[in-house]
Structure 1
Amino acid sequence: MSSIRWPLLVRKTHKWLALFVGIQVVLWTVTGFYMVAVHIDYIHGDHLVHAKAPGSFEPGTLLPVERALAAAPGATEITLVAPLGRPAWKARTPEGDVLLDGRTGARLPAFTEGEIRQIAAGIYTGNPTVTSIKLLTDAPQEMASRKPPFWQVEYEGWAKPTLYISPTTGELISRRHALWRVFDFAWMLHIMDYDERSNVNNPLLRIATWSAFAMAISGAWLLFWAFPRKKKKKAK
């Protein structure tokens, strides 16, 4: 039985591993560079909206919290908000968030398209030209983690800036733009989750990671083997 030729075996293993995971290693490098080169606050779209200013109302004109809670059975949380500058109680209920008139406690209807335009205009910092506004009942890929319905307000600009606003509370749910979409695509390639783009422990990623580790180890072994080694002098 012939002895194993380790250099040849390791070299072949290294070559096939490099062919198998080489492209993914390049993708890890490129996508990782993009994700650290562009500031995360910019990716999040913080530059697209104004900082939220707290509302100021006379306490005596507001419905007491106890009565607001009574008007929203099952509410676990209640917050004073001010969509369009009017006081309202936002109650978190098992059926979802509801909005109550801040002075009477009456349940407020969903916001109209015109009101959503006003809300969006009050928080958006860029070119005010709206190119599209629609109420979505099916979430697009960029909002897959959010539960519809929500209003989608798109603005003019190369980055296609987009605001997503709740139809029941008028609150900003999220914002999206071109660099965020590139980041999302890069993240998908980086974690190798081509479906939901959120599972960082999927089988494909684990296989590629361990294969890349084995490639690095075999390459290091070959590098060590390539260095000339001094032969021991024979004893006289």
Structure 2
Amino acid sequence: MGAVRWPLVVRRTHKWIALFVGIQVVLWTATGFYMVVVHIDTIHGDHLVKSAPASRFATVGVVPPASVAAALPGATEVRLQQRLGRPIWRVQSPEGAVSFDAASGARLGELTEADVRQAARSFYAGDGAIVRATRLTAAQQEMGNRKPPYWQVEFAGWNRPTLYIAPVTGELLAKRHLLWRVFDFAWMLHIMDYQARTDVNNPLLRVATWSAFAMALSGAWLLVWSFPRRRKKAKR
């Protein structure tokens, strides 16, 4: 068995590693460029909604929070807020967020589609018409870990602005648009988490990162090895 020709072994290893990680390096560069160029406030969709005014509530005639909390065993939070301009108690419980009329203490049901459209219009900063309002019971990728149900209200526009509204409290849950969706897709490619798009330390990313590191090391070795070879050829 002959001696191992290390330069040839390293060169071939470097080539195959480069073929393996080359596409991902291009994706890292392209997606990183997008995430740097497009401002994060634009990605978040802050321009899609109006600035929230300071909330002021008259507490006269409001039922005590303890009384509505007692109606839901295991309640963890009671908060006074508005639903379509009316003061309500928002109670967080094991079954989710529940609304109570702040004046009567009566439990409130879900918003109707007309109510949801009104709420979405009050949040939206643009002037486009509502294209559709859909109550969703299946989880959506762009809503992350937030569990349904929720209302999806889409407005007319090139960037497909979309607001998600809580069906019980009328709160704005999320705002999405085309640039956010492109960012989300780019983020998925960047961190190589093709399912949840949240794990920045997944096995596939670690393999690609260490492979890129190995490619750099083998390339550096080949570069250093090439200098003495060139000097010997010059002497001859």
TM-score by length of 1: 0.92
The two structures, once aligned, show a CA RMSD in angstroms of 1.8
1:24 positional shift = 0.7
The residue aligned with 2:13 is: 13
1:96-122 CA distance string (max 9 Å, x none): 110000111110110011111111111
Q: Is the CA contact (8 Å cut-off) linking 1:28 and 1:190 kept in structure 2?
A: yes
The residue aligned with 1:130 is: 130
Deviates more, 1:220-229 or 1:47-56: 220-229
Q: Percent identity?
A: 62
Amino acid at match of 2:156: E
2:26 aligned with 1:26, yes or no?
yes
Q: Is the CA contact (8 Å cut-off) linking 2:128 and 2:157 kept in structure 1?
A: no
1:136 positional shift = 0.7
TM-score by length of 2: 0.92
Distance 1:214 1:30 in 2: 22
Q: Is the CA contact (8 Å cut-off) linking 1:78 and 1:89 kept in structure 2?
A: yes
Q: Is the CA contact (8 Å cut-off) linking 1:163 and 1:172 kept in structure 2?
A: yes
The residue aligned with 2:41 is: 41
Q: Is the CA contact (8 Å cut-off) linking 1:130 and 1:153 kept in structure 2?
A: yes
The residue aligned with 2:155 is: 155
1:165 positional shift = 0.5
Distance 2:177 2:70 in 1: 41
Which ranges of structure 2 fall in alignment gaps of 5 or more residues? none
Distance 2:96 2:231 in 1: 78
The residue aligned with 1:183 is: 183
Amino acid at match of 1:169: T
Q: Map 1:1-236 onto structure 2 (within 5 A).
A: 1-228=1-228
Distance 2:7 2:62 in 1: 81
Q: Is the CA contact (8 Å cut-off) linking 1:164 and 1:173 kept in structure 2?
A: yes
Distance 1:200 1:5 in 2: 39
| Paired residue secondary structure (1:170) | coil
Q: Report how many aligned residue pairs link the two structures.
A: 232
Given the superposition, is the C-alpha separation of residues 231 and 30 from structure 1 closer, same or farther in structure 2, using an over 3 Å criterion?
A: closer
Distance 2:12 2:230 in 1: 26
1:68-127 CA distance string (max 9 Å, x none): 322333211100111111100000011111000011111011001111111111111112
Q: Is the CA contact (8 Å cut-off) linking 2:191 and 2:200 kept in structure 1?
A: yes
Distance 1:175 1:112 in 2: 20
